[in-house]
Amino acid sequence: MTDFRRSRIAYYESRLRDFSSNGILYLFEPEVATSPPLNFQDNQVLRKIRFAFRSFMGRSDRRPEPTYEDNAIAFIDPPYYEIRCFSSGRVEIFRSPIFRRNVRDPSIRHVDFDGIILDGHRLDNVSKLLRETFNIRSDVFLHIVLFGVQEAFPYAKFFTYKMSTTPFKDNVVVLPSLTMPAASTVSLVILLREHLLGGDIILPEDL
């Protein structure tokens, strides 16, 4: 694990109280950084960034103004999301919550893998942003990290009618990274479904 990814995981782990104590981090990390670094003061660049994240930020009247940081621009609205673009081409999205309510027993928590897979529709906009605005031509690695999931069960009924009967043991779970080839045009919904429900990650069992 790179120092950058480790530092971002530590950052959100320290912020969980601001996000209902659970959430998911999507971290896009290009194999080769964009060059030259992106200028976030450019109004055209800012407009494209806002457009790419519009579905994560919800209604236009609730979208926060950007916060400018060292080599980054952020859109922050706890307890729902925190989005950050780095001038190097890295992008992170943290959203909360990630649990599906169990109507029979509210004490049982299910991690909503259906929602994670369907996020692929929104993440496709981020992938397009990286290729067209950040001018990324290399492979891109998508890292996915779950927070606040200790003793919660993976659940993916919509796609497979399956779930795991074994809960997560750790509060922070780093899933295997997904490689997005430079020439790929396959939707992230399909890639995430194959990646997450292949059996090696959430170990689905028939309901």
Q: Residue 100 above 80 pLDDT?
A: no
pTM for the model stands at: 0.91
The pLDDT-based confidence of 103 (bands split at 50, 70, 90) is low
What pLDDT sits at residue 159? 57
The pLDDT of 163-192, averaged and rounded, is 89
CB neighbours of residue 87 within 10 Å: 17
What pLDDT sits at residue 153? 86
129 or 59, higher pLDDT: 129
The DSSP-derived string for 19-83 is GTT-EEEEEEEESS--SSPP-TT-HHHHHHHHHHTHHHH-SGGGPPPPEEETTEEEEEETTTEEE
Q: Residue 206 above 60 pLDDT?
A: no
What pLDDT sits at residue 204? 40
Q: Residue 201 above 80 pLDDT?
A: no
